Structure 1
Amino acid sequence: MTWTFVIDDRLGIPLPQLELEWDQYSEADRSEILLRWEEIRGTIPDQVKKLEQIIIKKQAQLNVEENFKLSCQLNSEIAELAGTINELHLWFRVNQDITSSAAHH
């Protein structure tokens, strides 16, 4: 098989690993990839909510933290989680891009 989905530990979701260009896949493969991606894509909002809950807890800790070094660490962790959420939002939109580009071929 020239494609698969591999879990991304940071994002918490499987991401597509395509060995060919999109238009080099058969219509059947593209349909199968899109179906699998749609299933994964549907889990992204829940993953975002989990990360947002972690951010809320860390912000609460940050609000009462008096140790500057620990405050900086919490800030860094919050920023990393926010970056992960942004990346998840980008992946959430990938299906629209693939579907529209596939429709043009």
Structure 2
Amino acid sequence: MHYEFLLNERLGIPLPHLYKEWDEYKVETQSEILLTWEKIRGRIPDRIEEIEVTINRKQEQLNNEANFQRSCELNAEISELASVINDLWIWYRANQNISSAKVHQ
């Protein structure tokens, strides 16, 4: 196999892992990769929504937390989840441009 999609535990979605340069793949293989990625990419907004629900829950906990140490932990968790959302949006947008460019060649 010259490519695969591996689950990224942090992001919660599979990401493409190409073992050759893009131009070294046959057009048919490029199409397979892009089709698979578009299916995954289409689920990114739902994944972001799931994380936002978790962030909102943690923010509510933070609003009611009196323990300073726990407040710091919640802030760190919220920050990490926000970072995951940011990374998901980067994957969503960057690969949209790549996919469009490759399809239109």
The TM tier, using the shorter chain, reads over 0.9
What amino acid is the match of 1:92?
A: Y
Q: Give the distance between the partners of 2:23 and 2:104, measured in 1 at CA.
A: 10
Alignment gaps of 5+ in structure 2: none
Say which is worse superposed, 43-52 or 89-98, in terms of deviation: 89-98
**TM-score relative to the length of structure 2:** 0.93
- Which residue matches 1:64? 64
Give the superposition deviation at 1:20: 1.0
Counterparts of residues 67-82 of structure 1 (less than 5 Å)? 67-82=67-82
Shift >6 Å, 4+ stretches: none
Partner of 1:47: 47
Match of 2:15 in 1: 15
Amino acid aligned to 1:59: Q
Deviation at 1:9, TM superposition (A): 0.8
CA distance in 1, matches of 2:61, 2:79: 14
Shift of 1:98: 1.4
Question: 1:25-67 CA distances to partner (integer Å, 9 max, x unpaired)?
Answer: 1100110000000000111011000000000000000001011
Identity score, percent: 53
CA distance in 2 between counterparts of 1:103 and 1:5 reads 19
| 1-structure distance, mates of 2:40, 2:101 | 20
List runs of 5+ in structure 1 lacking aligned partners: none
Secondary structure, in 3 states, of the residue corresponding to 1:7? strand
1:24-39 equivalences in 2 (<5 Å): 24-39=24-39
